[in-house]
Structure 1
Amino acid sequence: MGYAQLVIGPAGSGKSTYCSSLYQHCETVRRSIHIVNLDPAAENFDYPVAMDVRELISLDDVMEELGLGPNGGLVYCMEHLEDNLNDWLDEELDNYLDDEYLVFDCPGQIELYSHVPVFRNFVEHLKRRNFNVCVVYLLDSQFMVDVTKFISGCMASLSAMVQLELPHVNILSKMDLVTNKKDLDDFLDPEPQFLLSALNQQMAPKYAKLNKALIDLVSSYSMVSFIPLDLRKDKSIEYVLGQIDNCIQYGEDADVKVRDFDQEDDD
């Protein structure tokens, strides 16, 4: 049984920084994880890259050869990978044990999770390889300045979750950059009625029914709960990792170690 995190979120939400900090934390506590780059547009890494999708295709090459822009080029890269990504992963996994813990650092374009089927197919392939997979969705905490942006972030996350059909953990990243953390208290685990009231205050009356439908949808899919992550604090990283481990049942099949008190008495 293998374990995997699929780290997604908008561009600039701190996915690579999260992967780097997670790797450093696990190295400190002597826990083995491997970071996999799934972003053809990636340039620099602050962590050892166990597997790199740019070995198959890179955004720079596509933009130069086909004259595409960054977004169109990335979509082309992922469509090109659709027929090759799973075979590449199988070949790479031959170098690892069956119970490895992989963290996939993914691109930030939301259309890759809502319109292009490559990641859904990739997830299904991981499951066939006997991996328990969890989506880790990062949203920049500085984005949470009002209810409209909060709902927008939730809907983007929900779109990806519906497409991938996986357990998910939602994280507010970059908490170390927030000057007044009390401003976020209402959005960490808000009541649906609070969200609806705040949304109605900012939107025209004609959107009242739409607002209620959006809040009901977000509430029904349990998308109103975010975990704050402050990468300066080991306890914060440890708590987030614990929530993710619980989602993918990491460690539940480990052998229970029972102390031999009789042997200790003899010693």
Structure 2
Amino acid sequence: MVFGQVVIGPPGSGKTTYCNGMSEFLQIIGRKVAVVNLDPANDSLPYKCAVNIEDLIKLEDVMSEHGLGPNGGLVYCMDYIEKNLDWLKSKLEPLEKDHYILFDFPGQVELFTLHSNAKNIITEMTTKWDYRLAAVHLVDAHLCCDPGKYLSALLLSLSTMLHLELPHINVLSKIDVLASYGKLAFNLDFYTDVQDLTYLQFDLNKDPFSAKYRKLTKDLCELVEDFALVSFTTLNIQDKESVANIVKLVDKCNGYVFSGIEGDINEFMKLAARDLDWDYYRYPHLKALAFCI
């Protein structure tokens, strides 16, 4: 049985950085990790790539050959991947025995809200290949600084959850630089818990442009609240404790917690108990994290 994460989110939300940091963290706690790049436009990878979709198809070649723009080219590429899943399966088979897999998907949001190709690829993995996957949906935390953008992030997250039908975690990424964008109108808990959006409506109505669409805003907020599905956790990829919290959540979502996490805890405790300077100074949160997982 293969466990892993489907890493998605808008462009610039930090998916590739997340895959790099998460793979390093998981290796530290004793897991064998493979990162699979399924973004045909991602030609600058900071991590060691176990499978690279550019070996099958490249966005640049598609745009040149078919006269498509970036968006149309990405849709074409995902359709092509869907029709060549046997190629992907053959590349993944050597990893299936003992690897935890991170899938780095493209950032085009239409692929996860409108088109069926990405969903069909994931469904093939979860139903026919028996992969246990959880979606990790990254949203840039700076969107919280603008009520209109935050509402858009809520709608995007909800739409993605309903479309993919996967165990799902929404993450406010880059939380460490949020303060540089200004003071939030409400406490951070308001944006992560998504409990009462009445206050968000009030904040939006302060803007003359947004006030014209007061009823639409009210209906959209009620839509999000009625589904009661969207909430966020925060992430600072540089902070090991923050990454460990994501690992705990994902392990519960995809079921890994029931089939092997005990080994990870034991390994983590061994690392935390060491007095080696390399471990302690390079990963200063290890000792605290051992009691968090």
TM-score (norm 1): 0.87
**Counterpart contact for 1:79–1:116, Cα < 8 Å:** no
Q: Tell me the equivalent position of 2:39.
A: 39
Structure number with higher helix proportion: 2
Q: Tell me the equivalent position of 1:142.
A: 142
The change in CA–CA distance for 1:72 and 1:255 in structure 2 (over 3 A counts) is closer
Q: Tell me the equivalent position of 2:247.
A: 241
**Counterpart contact for 2:14–2:138, Cα < 8 Å:** yes
SS class of match (1:82): helix
CA RMSD of aligned residues (A): 2.2
The change in CA–CA distance for 1:106 and 1:63 in structure 2 (over 3 A counts) is same
SS class of match (1:95): helix
Q: Tell me the equivalent position of 1:119.
A: 118
Cα drift, residue 99 of structure 1: 5.4
Q: Tell me the equivalent position of 2:203.
A: 198
Q: Tell me the equivalent position of 2:191.
A: 187
Cα drift, residue 124 of structure 1: 1.3
Which amino acid in 1 is paired with 2:57? I
What is the rounded CA distance, in whole Å, between the counterparts of 2:262 and 2:69 in structure 1? Answer: 54
Which amino acid in 2 is paired with 1:93? L
Identity %: 38
- Matched residue pairs, number? 255
What is the rounded CA distance, in whole Å, between the counterparts of 2:247 and 2:224 in structure 1? Answer: 24
Which amino acid in 1 is paired with 2:120? N
Q: Matches of residues 169-188 of structure 1 in structure 2 within 5 Å?
A: 169-179=169-179, 183=184, 185=188, 186-188=190-192
What is the rounded CA distance, in whole Å, between the counterparts of 1:32 and 1:228 in structure 2? Answer: 25
**Counterpart contact for 2:32–2:98, Cα < 8 Å:** no
**Counterpart contact for 1:8–1:108, Cα < 8 Å:** yes
What is the rounded CA distance, in whole Å, between the counterparts of 1:12 and 1:151 in structure 2? Answer: 18
SS class of match (1:179): helix
Which runs of 5 or more residues in structure 2 are unaligned? 264-293
The change in CA–CA distance for 1:146 and 1:42 in structure 2 (over 3 A counts) is same
Q: Matches of residues 88-127 of structure 1 in structure 2 within 5 Å?
A: 88-98=87-97, 100-127=99-126
The change in CA–CA distance for 1:217 and 1:187 in structure 2 (over 3 A counts) is same
Cα drift, residue 222 of structure 1: 3.4
TM-score (norm 2): 0.80
Cα drift, residue 80 of structure 1: 2.1
Q: Is 1:207 the equivalent of 2:211?
A: no
Which runs of 5 or more residues in structure 1 are unaligned? 258-267
Q: Tell me the equivalent position of 1:260.
A: none
